Structure 1
Amino acid sequence: MAESPEGSLTPAQFEILQLLWEAERGLSAAEIWEAIRENRDVSRTTISNLVDRLEKRNWLVRSKEDGVFRYVPSIDREVAEGKLAAEFVGDFFNGSAANIVLSLLGSNQISTTELQRLKAILNESKSRKK
């Protein structure tokens, strides 16, 4: 069984994972670089270094296909987002999910649609716990 990913992610590393979650058969470092440089100026070396670090920390799995290394995430998007959210809440909101929601409500960062979605999620969670 593969080891769990280590550490947290920078926004640039998370951007790489987002690309890979969307790719059906993974991407090479060059393909990752090409996709990212469409939106911002970044060197190929920078992307290669980020990919290498992600692989060493078990966020990515590498396989060789037709002489090219292809990378895929070692973890599902939902699991990764949950891990990152838990770390964020722990680091900045004393481990309280309620505190982060209250902060968002107080800053008007949650739309009516998102509030309805949160209510539905809470109701579903309550039903599962009964």
Structure 2
Amino acid sequence: MRVRGFGELEAVVMERLWDREGSTTVREVFDDMARGREIAYTTVMSTMDNLHRKGWLERERSGKAFRYWPTLTREEHSARLMREAFHSGGRSDVVLTHFFEQLSEEEAAGLRVALQRMATDEDAAQ
């Protein structure tokens, strides 16, 4: 599974971190990943360090180790990807039309609720 903006292993690590609440250590991520694949602790450690250097993870020292957490939620990251696709996809009205045509009824209903919530929040702010 590859998440745009991440390498394959980075995407796996980010998914693991997004699935957790709060901060986590390299050891905890390694133990979780090692149950399903053969991987070295140092590989997980260097991947998490790379994600930190790229700004995707924050960290703080906790004893001899670091505790890491994502700088964006999964949903914030997805929204950023959608915005990038929207801006790089040509005419925005055509992009949106094609996007809307691909939505399921359930997704369209969720979008209508989100748009209504935004309109209500905007009205309340005025």
TM-score (norm 1): 0.65
How far does the alpha carbon of each residue in 1:60-101 deviate from its partner, in whole angstroms, 9 at most, with x for none?
12222132222112234443332222223334x237376156
Partner residue in 2 for 1:55? 52
| Deviation (angstroms), 1:129 | 4.3
Which range is displaced more, 13-22 or 23-32?
Answer: 13-22
| Deviation (angstroms), 1:39 | 4.4
Unaligned stretches of 5+ residues in structure 1: 1-7
Q: 2:30 aligns with which of 28, 33, 43?
A: 33
Q: Count matched residues.
A: 119
Matches within 5 A, 1:38-117: 38-91=35-88, 93-94=89-90, 96=92, 99=95, 102-103=98-99, 105-106=101-102, 110-117=103-110
Partner residue in 2 for 1:19? 16
If asked which structure has higher relative contact order (CA below 8 Å, sep 6+), I would say: 1
Which range is displaced more, 97-106 or 78-87?
Answer: 97-106
Q: Distance in 1 between matches of 2:114 and 2:22?
A: 32
Assess, with a 3 A threshold, how the Cα gap between structure 1 residues 100 and 46 changes in structure 2: closer, same or farther.
farther
Q: RMSD of aligned C-alpha atoms? A: 3.0
Q: Distance in 2 between matches of 1:16 and 1:123?
A: 35
Identity over aligned residues, as a percent? 21
Q: Distance in 2 between matches of 1:31 and 1:89?
A: 36
Partner residue in 1 for 2:114? 121
Q: Which runs of 4+ in 1 moved over 6 A?
A: none
